[in-house]
Amino acid sequence: MPPSITPLDENAKDDHDDLVFLEEHPAPQAAAATRSVWRVMIIDDDEDVHSTTTFALGNLDMQHRPLEFVHAYSAAQARELLKQEQEIAVILLDVVMEQDDAGLHLVRYIRETLRMADVRIILRTGQPGYAPEIDAIRDFDINDYKTKSELTRIKLYTTVTAAIRSYEQIRKINDSRRGLNQIINASTELMALHGVHNFAAGVLAQIATLLGQEASGVLCAQECPDSGCRELHVIATAGQYRHLENAVMTTTIDARMADSMERTLAEHRNQYRDEYVTLHFSGKASRAFVAYLDLRRAPTELEERLLEVFCGNVAVGLENVELVSHLHKAAFYDTLSKLPNRTRLIEILDATLAGPAKQDATLSLVDLDHFAETNDALGHEFGDMLLVAVAARLQNSLGQQLTVARIGGDIFCLLGDSSQINPACILSLFQTPFSIEGQDVQLSATLGLVRLAEHDGSGADALKDADIALKRAKSQQRAGHFYFSRSMGVEIRERVRMMHALRTAFGQNQLFVVYQPQIDLFSRRPVGAEALLRWQTPDGKFISPDRFIPIAEYSGLIIELGEWVMRTACRELVALRAAGHEDFTMSINVSQVQFRHPHFLDMLRRALSDTGAPPEYVELEITESMAMEEPDLLIKMLAQIKQTGVTIAIDDFGTGFSSLSYLQRLQIDRLKIDRAFVTEITGSARGSSIAEMVIQLGRNLGLAVIAEGVEDERQAQILHTLGCPLAQGFLFARPMTNQALLGWLGNDALAGVA
């Protein structure tokens, strides 16, 4: 018999409890197609069962919806129908059809092959002795088991109603789960976007996806809402509102949109309407965000709840992406001149050296002659204005074709085509005096240049070569220039000499490890120490790590050195614990070359195992630039390292950061504020801004924060006030030997940090 769908009979009446076998008369086409229905599938090889079931239930509403029936007269026919039918709420299934267990096999097909987990299956049998009730429910994913003889009209109605209620609850739970997964995926995708504008545009797109429609709307920012500022600045648009990009939203542009967003900001809550929605993203008091989107339909109750959750996530994301933008500017751009700084210049240089532009490119350092004397004579404020004037002249005269950067106090840098990096043209820019507050100042400059086509190293090496050329130019004459040549590679020969000396020093035990305590700023109690490598020559001189660590990395000796430092620090940790200092963490620096070694993970595991050091009290420090160079590779590596139980810190944080999305994916535990930002805390009125942003970022991401290079009490007090919990530096203790550390912890720690 062909499959059929039984339309609803709104007028049928029956007051008898028992199922009465009557002929089924087709009911007139009701208005079911225009309103929501519950779809019930009857699978039975007995036509009378179909008739009596539809007769018994056809005139009833369940959960405020009528029923619609889908009929199958065999298990095989049901299989074909179920491949196409959607939104089946309940299946009334006969056990015995083509075979004695056809119904039971069909249950497995529905659950495992078609993966229909939501539909409620009620098993019916006319042979109650065939399949024991307990066994059937235990072995097959069915929701009820009834014999046909016990299914009176009322009992059938009760059973189907219960199944429909269960189906409705499951669908609501699954819809919520799918919505939350959508929010998680949306948040992940948003974190991969760089910049406030791109993030905001992504927010509009994700909201539209959540609502199942095309994006059409705007996202605005309101600066300083608490101070009475009412202007709404459009930072992202979509759909028909793209013409409003970067506009100031007013009632003259769109009264309904502006009024709705103002009301949303004033009430600090979302506004839902049939034709549009305005969403509030609660943030810092200094800045508020609001979005407006057109709707094709009113959002459902579930969609409104999901939007509330999404807005909470986005509010944090908007704050973080702004924070990252500030950090990016601070890390890559000079705060005075707004030009790229040394870090950013090296990135540009590396990119140039890796591409075809290298063949015609020249790098030039521009060092202002006798600037320090001018600065001392006329004051630092005057000197800053003079530097800004020099930056503006270089940029306005050359910046359209060249990269102009400021890499030091009075040193600028130019990078571009060799025909444009012309020493005579550059020096001629200084022939005209600079006018600062009505006073003319005459400056000259000295240049050191490198032709990148003749350079085989990295961007940092090219900058060093340019500096060598600059020093040669200064030694010959001021206001002149000099090109670097291969014959000037004295520094390279010095590197080779030091490399051999370092190998000898390591073999003769001239290298040793010292430990600098890390302090809880609230209690001023020591909580850990950082292991640091030192080199003292036989004549008592110390060689700076800044000199020999790069040589160790260059030569590959850092692999052996790094493993030795790790084992030494782990042994010291075990000794400290034996002396009673059990709640004490040992931080160990890991260089980029060491970290990339294919056997680094094995080295770490062996060091922990051989020394017996508890991994939860061992912390590995990696630099931020290392974390950002190959983040995808690092993410996998860190996941494996974390399995050993050790914790991970990012050192020098704020000097090379580029992507919050990667920071969120890295399994790290602590951020270390670079000493340069700690020094700036007391250097100017805005000196604490970078440190404060790093502390806030750590708090937002659930990461611990420690500041390094704390040298005076004022810095410690400011950091404590900003919410930084930990610090290290000369204020508390200088790096010391293991014996000195043990004595300091036992006798002098309290006095040393009090």
Structure-model confidence comparison of residues 75 and 130, the more confident one: 75
Domain that holds residue 350: 342-488
Burial class from Cβ neighbours inside 10 Å (0-12, 13-18, 19+) for residue 605 reads middle
Whether 550 is covered by a domain: the verdict is no
Instruction: Give me the percent of the chain exceeding a pLDDT of 70.
Output: 81
Q: Which of 202-206, 525-529, 656-660 has the highest mean pLDDT?
A: 525-529
Render pLDDT for 649-681 as a digit per residue (tens, 0 to 9).
988 776 655 556 667 777 889 999 888 889 888
User: Closest Cα partner for 745 from 570, 564, 532, 575?
Assistant: 575
3-state secondary structure of 676: helix
pLDDT reported for residue 145: 72
Residues 686, 224: Cα–Cα separation, whole Å: 19
Residue 85 sits in the same domain as residue 170: yes
Mean pLDDT for 407-429 is: 90
Q: Check pLDDT > 50 for residue 149.
A: yes
pLDDT reported for residue 664: 73
pLDDT reported for residue 216: 87
Lowest mean pLDDT among 206-215, 428-437, 446-455: 206-215
Angle between helices 558-578 and 600-611 (to 10 degrees): 30
Q: In the structure, what pLDDT confidence band is assigned to residue 115 with cuts at 50, 70 and 90?
A: confident
Whether 590 is covered by a domain: the verdict is yes
**CATH number (domain holding residue 361):** 3.30.70.270
Render pLDDT for 545-574 as a digit per residue (tens, 0 to 9).
988 998 898 888 999 999 999 999 999 999
Alpha helices (H) in 556-688, listed in sequence order: 558-578, 592-596, 600-611, 624-629, 631-642, 660-665, 675-680
Which of 260, 294, 329 is at the close of a domain?
329
Q: Check pLDDT > 50 for residue 244.
A: yes
Q: In the structure, what pLDDT confidence band is assigned to residue 621 with cuts at 50, 70 and 90?
A: very high
pLDDT reported for residue 184: 59
Q: Which of 128-137, 174-183, 686-695 has the highest mean pLDDT?
A: 686-695
Q: Check pLDDT > 60 for residue 296.
A: yes
- Torsion-angle region of 120 (φ positive above 0: left; ψ -120 to 50: alpha; else: beta): beta
Residues 471, 747: Cα–Cα separation, whole Å: 50
pLDDT reported for residue 70: 92
Q: In the structure, what pLDDT confidence band is assigned to residue 628 with cuts at 50, 70 and 90?
A: low
Residue 157 sits in the same domain as residue 198: no
Residue 244 sits in the same domain as residue 355: no
Total count of domains within the chain: 4
Render pLDDT for 213-230 as a digit per residue (tens, 0 to 9).
888 888 888 765 554 446
The predicted model scores a pTM of 0.41
Contacts of 33 (CB under 8 A, 6+ apart): none
Render pLDDT for 456-472 as a digit per residue (tens, 0 to 9).
889 998 998 898 889 88
Residue 593 sits in the same domain as residue 683: yes
Residue 370 sits in the same domain as residue 238: no
Cα–Cα distances in angstroms (integers) from residue 137 to residues 98, 114, 132, 146, in the given order: 21, 19, 9, 11
Residue matched to tokens 């300091």: 744
pLDDT reported for residue 139: 63
pLDDT reported for residue 30: 33
Mean pLDDT for 522-548 is: 93
Residue 523 sits in the same domain as residue 644: yes
Whether 507 is covered by a domain: the verdict is no
Render pLDDT for 674-690 as a digit per residue (tens, 0 to 9).
888 898 888 765 667 78
**CATH number (domain holding residue 322):** 3.30.450.40
Instruction: Give me the percent of the chain exceeding a pLDDT of 90.
Output: 30
Q: Which of 154-168, 299-313, 579-593 has the highest mean pLDDT?
A: 579-593
Give 92-161 as a 3 state SS string: EEECCCCCCCHHHHHHHHHHHHCCCCCCEEEEEECCCCCCCHHHHHHHCCCCEEEEHHHCCHHHHHHHHH
Residue 640 sits in the same domain as residue 734: yes
Whether 183 is covered by a domain: the verdict is no
pLDDT reported for residue 686: 62
Residue 409 sits in the same domain as residue 458: yes
Mean pLDDT for 492-517 is: 88
With b for 16 or more beta-carbon neighbours within 10 A and e for fewer, the 481-520 pattern comes to bbbbeeeeeeeeeeeeebbebbbebbeeebbebbbbbbbe
Residue 196 sits in the same domain as residue 229: yes
Q: Is the dihedral of CA 182, 183, 186, 192 positive or negative?
A: negative
Arithmetic mean of pLDDT over the chain: 81
pLDDT reported for residue 33: 35
Render pLDDT for 247-281 as a digit per residue (tens, 0 to 9).
787 766 788 888 888 888 888 888 888 889 898 88
Q: Check pLDDT > 70 for residue 727.
A: yes
Residue 8 sits in the same domain as residue 152: yes
pLDDT reported for residue 189: 58
Whether 752 is covered by a domain: the verdict is no
Residue 419 sits in the same domain as residue 483: yes
Mean pLDDT for 397-401 is: 76
pLDDT reported for residue 385: 92
Residue 346 sits in the same domain as residue 314: no
Lowest mean pLDDT among 219-228, 574-583, 730-739: 219-228
pLDDT reported for residue 634: 81
Q: What is the largest CA-CA distance in the chain?
A: 116
Q: Check pLDDT > 70 for residue 20.
A: no
Q: Check pLDDT > 50 for residue 142.
A: yes
3-state secondary structure of 565: helix
Which of 142, 175, 208 is at the close of a domain?
175
**CATH number (domain holding residue 721):** 3.20.20.450
Whether 558 is covered by a domain: the verdict is no
pLDDT reported for residue 297: 85
Mean pLDDT for 113-117 is: 83
**367 with 375: CB under 8 angstroms?**
no
Structure-model confidence comparison of residues 235 and 251, the more confident one: 235
Whether 315 is covered by a domain: the verdict is yes
pLDDT reported for residue 219: 87
Q: Check pLDDT > 50 for residue 26.
A: no
Q: Check pLDDT > 90 for residue 94.
A: no
Whether 556 is covered by a domain: the verdict is no
With b for 16 or more beta-carbon neighbours within 10 A and e for fewer, the 385-424 pattern comes to bbbbbbbbbbbeebbeebbbbbbeebbbbbbbebebbebe
Which of 294, 329, 364 is at the close of a domain?
329
Q: Check pLDDT > 60 for residue 141.
A: yes
Residues 248, 235: Cα–Cα separation, whole Å: 9
Residues 524, 692: Cα–Cα separation, whole Å: 20
Q: Check pLDDT > 90 for residue 159.
A: no
